[in-house]
Amino acid sequence: MAVLIDHPCVQHKLAVIRNVDTGHKRFRELAKEITKFICYEALKNIKTKIVTVQTPVAEATCRKIDTNIVVVPILRAGIGMLEGILELVPTARVGFIGLYRDEKTKLPVSYYERYPPQIRGGTCIVIDPMLATGGSTAAAIDRLKDEGADDIIVICIVTCPEGIELVEKAHPDVLIYAAAIDEKLNDKKYIVPGLGDAGDRLFGTSH
């Protein structure tokens, strides 16, 4: 299931990050800010435990997060969202997965993976700015489950019906959180209206 984060602050930032005239420095800043808002909502039901702390006045009954959080960016564009989550949850651990599309089979192939052991029994957050066809996201979830992860969520900035459908079909237990669910994919598999190439815009590598 896809959850749309429709908060006015998120939507305002989304309008700026979409703009073709937004340069890579501001694009990176906005990606971080939007990610933090989405993650805030995505983690609202995370497991907590009751603790007692001493304030300067008296004891207080409080809640603390009671699960390991592991953030897994899909390389390379997912790196642009990482800082936003780490600012919100500084104790989170980080794994990485790199995928490319095989030219013959058109299927995602893993070329790099590194995960902390806490993916087993923890909460894994897969991040990628664009969930377009859904192939890379579904493949990343496949690999995490192969490694023992059983609590996975996806955070993206923009997605579309085609990508949501593919991930939901492959992994109906995984929630997708996004700032926008756009109209469609075009014939080049770009989200319309989308953001363009998020990796190029994040790192200033567009021509």
**How many of the other CB atoms lie within 10 Å of CB of 47?**
11
The sign of the dihedral angle between the CA atoms of 176, 130, 203, 112 is positive
Distance (Å, whole) CA 196 – CA 198: 6
CA-nearest of 164, 117, 122, 167 to 142 is: 167
Could you confirm whether 128 is annotated as catalytic? no
Q: Would you call 143 a catalytic residue per the annotation?
A: no
Q: Which residues does 44 contact at the CB level (< 8 Å), separation at least 6? A: none
- The residue from 52, 55, 105, 146 that is catalytic is 105
Examine the residue annotation and report whether 173 is marked as an active-site residue of this protein. no
Q: DSSP for 81-109, please give it.
A: HHHHHHHH-TT-EE-EEEEEE-TTT--EE
Q: Identify residue 131 by its one-letter amino acid code.
A: L
In the annotation, is 101 catalytic? yes
Catalytic residue, chosen from 101, 142, 151, 159, is: 101
The size of the chain, in residues, is: 207
Tell me which residue of 3, 77, 74, 87 sits closest to 38, measured CA to CA.
Answer: 3
Question: Which DSSP letter does residue 117 get?
Answer: G
Q: Which residues are designated catalytic?
A: 101, 105, 197, 200
